Chains A and B, each alone.
Chain A
């Protein structure tokens, strides 16, 4: 029963703002450490979820709104970081990648919106791997190589350590999308 109008409608604004808020809350939830010492922050999960559940455009704007608040100085990233400094940091490329990652997630999810059951699980997992890992890391690697003057392959190698954690997040995202579709059958995945 959720009918949404154009991307600039007040209805869309509500979804965009509330997903941006979810990103902020994911930054507040204490981070979980993997056995081998790599911290998992939930915010990249928020990126995948925003893309999968809101669709490409709204997902993109939700992350953009969140990053705008961070850039204006609100301490919303894990550990209370914020301000323009985080965008010039070595991991700043990831932040830009988040927006396009959410967009890609949404684009793919919308293509496979008809899937149900295990198919839906697979579709959401595939969307989050491509959007949340491939696209986000592409931006992150370019960012790191620019800031640290490394070659692209060196930067990519340095990032490999985070991939296992992010794969787990893709799995969590897929399960969440499936749970949401069970719990809220009225939610539609085929919106733009």
Chain B
């Protein structure tokens, strides 16, 4: 009989009998196998020759087949440009968009937790009317600068007059819900206007287009996660800093952010993984120049048929950095990241 004691807590209740432990390990190793075997297969396929792949399944290197670096050579030297450009694009777009998203999102999340907002229905209504007027002007064929100017004018006018009559409005929780619920929006429902927008600005197939779109797509996650995180940070430090005369910006930068590092790390990793792997937006907005790695991998099939050996190398170098980060930061993910989901 094996008894495993809980490290924390006084009394151990988690006694595991030998048969139960054996069964647990069996189940755990079964799933470990399910997780790792595809990755193992990917890794060995990257070291096979086309002949090894096509002449049947070979499982163990050096026994069943002789590993070779041919595919790696092809990907890194023969295809140099076609591999490194998407890689650079993915790194730049991933890091930039994640940094911007985490910054804007945690600012908004912090503000939603610690500051009080009261937006009148009048102001929201004026804004909707202004947007409607802009849209009508543009659709009716007017030049878009005219529409924007008209919209802003109407907005200011209404805000100063009619909007003041409305008393009721939306508060912090409504704003937070509105932001987070954006995640429900399928990207495909918004991508066509975004495509047209970037086309008008001639920004299609550039880093800027991808960075801006990713920021918008991933902001809800950051607001959702960081809001819960900031709620769990004690407010006393900020209060005493405020009494000592620190500005809100200083408090945010010197007190709140350093305290929230575990949450920030987890959120950063989470958003980075999303941006790194993003497919749909890149599919619509990029073609050759700003193509990201998922596009490159997906395109392998279309151009040359399934050449598993090259594809395995590409997939390996694509998932390598993310997996390394996940392993290094696993502790943060479990603790910092999912406060929101756990709280419900």
Do the two shown chains form a genuine complex with each other?
A: no
Q: Tell me the A residues contacting B by CB distance below 8 Å.
A: none
Q: Tell me the B residues contacting A by CB distance below 8 Å.
A: none
